[in-house]
Amino acid sequence: MNEHSTEPKPADLLPLSPDERTWDGRTIVCLWAAAAVCAPTYMLTAEMLDQGMSWWQAVLAVSLGSFLAWIPMAIIGRAGAVHGVAFPLLLRSSFGTRGARLAVGLRSVAGVLWFSLQLWIGAHALALIGSSILGPGSLGAPLPVIGLSPGELVALVAFAALHLWVLQGGMTRIATMVRIAAPALGVLLGAVVLWAFVQDEKGFNTMWTSPSQFGEYKELEGQFWQVFLPMLAAATGVWTLLAINIVDFTRQLARPRGQAAAQLMGLMAGMTLVSLVGVTVTYASTDIFGETLDGLRMADPVVVIQGMGWLGGLLGMTALLLASLSTNVTVHGVGPIYGMMSIWPARLGWSSAARLLAVLALALLPWKLLAASGGGIYVGLVGLSYLLAPIAGILCWDCWAMRRAPLQPDALLDDAGPYGYGNGWNARAVIAFLCALVPLLPGFAETVGLVGDESIPDALEELYRYAAPFGFVVGAVVFAILQRFGRSPDSA
């Protein structure tokens, strides 16, 4: 190893040789299709309906947002497909051999928090499946201190063990999981829609005939763009975290060509399908249960599933369980594992990092976080994801620039090489990150309740509604300008 190497690296972090890359385009399609089927996507679509959109406007917003999110991921993903590098190493190209730890650490923290929350959501679904089979009261009374019933505790441990089993099998087992999960989720979602159609006496007529609230003489007349654009920004920002470490998956491809098309096919198919399921089931639920969209009660898939009866509930909870597993492993599990390995390379390999992730997820007591925040933890984690959009923007521009100045994978481990930037830090990347981040902090603080509404200027509050695209664009533009007038790796 080079004498100027920053630190020893686990084999899992080193660039993959062509012989080590075993994935095909179908696996990437299944990866995206499985990752897109998740509760947040479903709830985002239902929220759009509550904001006054018609069903087709909501589906359009989700589909268009997914397409916009695909563009940077195709650019970043190419670096993984061509050079076989993991995201902690790729970030060294833009942030420096030591500065990359800042971005890797932030991405890992966000991933661990999301992993913990999604782990509990899936475990709760598993417990509800058991309760629907065994009958009411079968889970038992809450235990002291931890606040979970014995049935919920068993479900949590079992679901955590399932996560750990998949993760410890490495990328090979993850590939097998997504190839199974994607078609299975398609069948399960189809069964849920069929249940809704059979149960809804109006046969989806409410959905077809419900207009948007932005037309003439409607409640929100003339306010379409004030609602559509923030919802479009939210649909785009959903994939901020995965954009940062998408190379962890594209580096597995045996053939680099076609990675962009495979990503587009899986992402668009998955997101469009889930948005269609979201609008159909949400509207049908209002008819079946005699409720309205007010307050988003019918936007919560768990609430809807609990009212579906034994068979419908079993199908719905199984879909939620499988979706939680596939999304959590891919979107929230792989990134933190690579991140922790790069931060503590001498102590952690893939298996030990996976075990640490599971321990941290349980130690956070996600059910208590949800209860204490009244569900506000969702808002905070979504906001945290948006705040990391500048990193994705910086990385995207850096990967685009690689078309003119190709990456030097071997030099990514060398402090004295071109990516050392003198002291291991590329100050231009840090400045670009802060320029994009700081204007968003007041809006984030107000959203999570750290400050009152009156203390934040309206302009900054409005800016935060577009946090993900703003952070991405400003981070990329400022970084591009600073790099143009600074010392670039290829000129070092």
Helical H segments across 247-308, by residue range: 247-250, 259-289, 301-306
Select the more confidently predicted residue: 20 or 206: 20
Mean pLDDT of 222-248: 90
Say if residue 372 is exposed, middle or buried (CB neighbours under 10 Å; 0-12, 13-18, 19+): exposed
Q: Reduced to 3 DSSP states, what percent helix, strand and coil does the chain have, rounded to the nearest 5?
A: 75, 0, 25
Nearest to 166 by CA among 332, 345, 360, 344: 332
pTM of the model: 0.89
b/e map of 193-214 (b: 16 or more CB within 10 Å)?
A: bebbeebbeeebeebeebebbb
pLDDT for 333 beyond 90? yes
pLDDT for 248 beyond 70? yes
Of the ranges 31-40, 194-203, 325-334, which is most confident? 325-334
Distance CA 321, CA 282 (A): 19
3-state secondary structure of 414: strand
Q: How confident is the model at residue 67 (pLDDT cuts 50, 70, 90)?
A: very high
Nearest to 41 by CA among 96, 118, 113, 101: 118
Distance CA 300, CA 307 (A): 12
pLDDT for 98 beyond 60? yes
pLDDT for 107 beyond 90? yes
Mean pLDDT of 298-325: 74
Residue 229, number of CB atoms within 10 A of its CB: 14
Mean pLDDT of 433-442: 95
Distance CA 68, CA 79 (A): 19
Mean pLDDT of 202-214: 80
Average pLDDT score, the chain: 86
Range of weakest confidence among 38-42, 75-79, 256-260: 38-42
pLDDT for 6 beyond 60? no
| CATH assignment, 11-365 | 1.10.4160.10
Mean pLDDT of 279-285: 83
Mean pLDDT of 16-39: 90
pLDDT (0 to 100) of residue 167: 96
What single letter denotes the amino acid at residue 150?
P
pLDDT (0 to 100) of residue 9: 64
Select the more confidently predicted residue: 278 or 22: 22
Residue 387, number of CB atoms within 10 A of its CB: 23
3-state secondary structure of 23: strand
pLDDT (0 to 100) of residue 129: 75
pLDDT (0 to 100) of residue 295: 46
To the nearest 10°, report the CA torsion of 101, 106, 110, 115. 10
Q: Give yes or no for a contact between 53 and 250, defined as CB atoms under 8 angstroms apart.
A: no
pLDDT (0 to 100) of residue 229: 92
pLDDT (0 to 100) of residue 300: 66
What are 414's strand-pairing partners? 5
- Give the tokens for residue 310: 């034994």
pLDDT (0 to 100) of residue 492: 43
Q: Considering Cα of 449, then 451, then 455, then 461, what sign does the dihedral take? A: negative
- CA distances, 332 to each of 17, 90, 113, 392, 397 (Å): 25, 18, 9, 16, 24
pLDDT (0 to 100) of residue 216: 75
pLDDT (0 to 100) of residue 43: 79
